[in-house]
Structure 1
Amino acid sequence: MMRTVVVTGSASGIGRATKELLESRGDRVVGVDIHDADVVVDLTTEEGRADLATRVGELTGGRIDAVVANAGLATPTPQTVAVNFFGAVATLEVLRPLLVGSDAPRAVATASMASFLPADDELVGLCLARDEAAALQRVKQLLEVDQGNLVYSSTKAALCRWLRRTAPTPEWAGAGIPLNAIGPGVVETPMTADLTATEEQRQGLLSMVPMPLNGFMGPDVPARLLAWLVSEENTHLCGQVVFVDGGSDTVIRGDATW
């Protein structure tokens, strides 16, 4: 049976691969991005997030089956916080009412293996407190002391914690909506092109993100996992971050499961 799935960040990378995979299986996909999409909005802004709900509702008649909150950035900038955490959470929250009419509603976010790398506790806390203005200001403070490398991991850590706290609530699990995330390792997409251009860069990245199983991956790999998580087959995963990282999690964290 055809399902209607909203995929953010659909113009490139994991989002595009997910959109193409779902469409190849007969689903209808409403792509969302800042360009080349069915719904063109800027998820770094409150206006864009509100427009997302309105536009998707208009295109789908107010009923969807799944949401893939995938849009993200990896730059040490305030925009990364605005998209990776506040944009992702807003996407899931504003589209949740449209899931209610589905016989098998599903929702998933794209996190990262970076969620268990060093992060800035203050930035994570501000995200979880939903204080966007202060979170964006904290990024500027981190940049001033040359700690911009903590921005991306902090956004993903905050997203995972929000998801763990939110998934079992009446609004999600209580409404029969599995809410989960994936945690990819290094995916070769336009977002990572500058980090994987040379062999020296690739080896340096692998020293930080070890991937003993088959090394770096193409966007089709996380796309297949996202597709299963929003499928009717996924009935009982709740608040899980499923790492598809070539082994980074096991190498870095060893016996620890969280």
Structure 2
Amino acid sequence: MRTVVITGSASGIGLATAEILRDRGDRVIGVDLHDAEVVADLSTVAGRAAMVEDVRALSGGTIDAVVANAGLALSSPATVAVNFYGCVATLDGLRPLLVGSSAPRAALTSSMASLMPHDDLLVELALAGDESKALERAQELVDADLGALIYSSTKVALSRWMRRHAATPEWAGTGIPLNGIGPGIVETPMTADLIASEEQRAAMADVVPMPLNGYMQAEVPARLLAWLVSEENTHVCGQLVFVDGGSDVVIRGDSTW
């Protein structure tokens, strides 16, 4: 039986992933603000540290996989704190617990929004590790009525962080495949207000075209996450796998880079 830690496990993609893994016999340690084995606030440094220690205690010091999935879609600095710093702290903090596994795996949830317009300065500050300045920049974007750039900027930064670290001695060098998924529009509580009406859905389709089967349920990206952290995945490394109904293809055309 494998032990898998999933952040954002109380709803959406995280909940769907937890259900899939439990159904196949894995032990899941869920992390969320409520209804989870570990209740933690990943928007704060203290909450992230407490999460790592709670997982260490519950797991006995060894886990087999991490799914860093928790995220927000608010035009707020909190989105930076959770989407980027919370995710990175989860992966970095729990990586030592993976070393004792015979088949350690790690995956994160990015987004097809990583293909959308973003704020270069916010991305640079996030990747530089300066959380206070990154949060200040996010507030500047809000004040300038550019808060819509925050979400995509966090996903760009997160995807770049994953690419930069996946092949390093700390990850690939210790046998840990580190990858991410880039979902299109998933019908979850996080997106409910964005696609509530036919007009909203039509407007969203112009921004996020999904010619293959349209919007998806959370189980679709969850199945991909479940495979990425399975023992079957031995060589996929540093990849952001788009599960987006074709958005990436429509937006980027024949570019594979």
Query: Normalized against structure 1, the TM-score is what?
Result: 0.99
Q: Distance in 2 between matches of 1:160 and 1:136?
A: 19
CA apart distance, 1:233: 0.4
Q: Distance in 1 between matches of 2:159 and 2:133?
A: 20
Q: Which residue of 2 aligns with 1:201?
A: 200
Structure 1 moving runs of 4+ over 4 Å: none
- Residue 126 of structure 2 corresponds to residue 157 of structure 1: no
Letter in 2 for 1:256: S
Q: Which residue of 1 aligns with 2:50?
A: 51
Q: Distance in 2 between matches of 1:167 and 1:113?
A: 19
Equivalence map 1:77-96=2 (5 Å): 77-96=76-95
Q: Which residue of 2 aligns with 1:187?
A: 186
Q: Distance in 1 between matches of 2:11 and 2:68?
A: 14
Q: Distance in 2 between matches of 1:103 and 1:245?
A: 32
- Residue 7 of structure 2 corresponds to residue 8 of structure 1: yes
Query: Normalized against structure 2, the TM-score is what?
Result: 0.99
Equivalence map 1:1-258=2 (5 Å): 2-258=1-257
Secondary structure of 1:108 counterpart: strand
Secondary structure of 2:237 counterpart: coil
Q: Distance in 1 between matches of 2:49 and 2:140?
A: 29
Secondary structure of 2:190 counterpart: helix
Secondary structure of 1:204 counterpart: helix
CA apart distance, 1:143: 1.1
CA apart distance, 1:116: 1.1
CA apart distance, 1:255: 1.3
Q: Distance in 2 between matches of 1:145 and 1:84?
A: 21
Q: Distance in 1 between matches of 2:28 and 2:4?
A: 5
Secondary structure of 2:209 counterpart: coil
Kindly, what percent of the aligned residue pairs are identical?
70
CA shift digits 1:63-101 (9 cap, x unpaired)? 000000000000110110000000000000000000000
Letter in 1 for 2:184: G
CA shift digits 1:164-210 (9 cap, x unpaired)? 00000000000000000000000000000001111111111011000
Q: Number of matched residues?
A: 257
Q: Distance in 1 between matches of 2:59 and 2:9?
A: 17
CA shift digits 1:33-88 (9 cap, x unpaired)? 01110000000000011011100010010000000000000011011000000000
Q: Distance in 2 between matches of 1:255 and 1:58?
A: 48
Name structure 1 gaps, 5 residues minimum. none
Secondary structure of 1:205 counterpart: helix
CA shift digits 1:81-125 (9 cap, x unpaired)? 000000000000000000000000000000000001100000000
Q: Distance in 2 between matches of 1:206 and 1:113?
A: 13
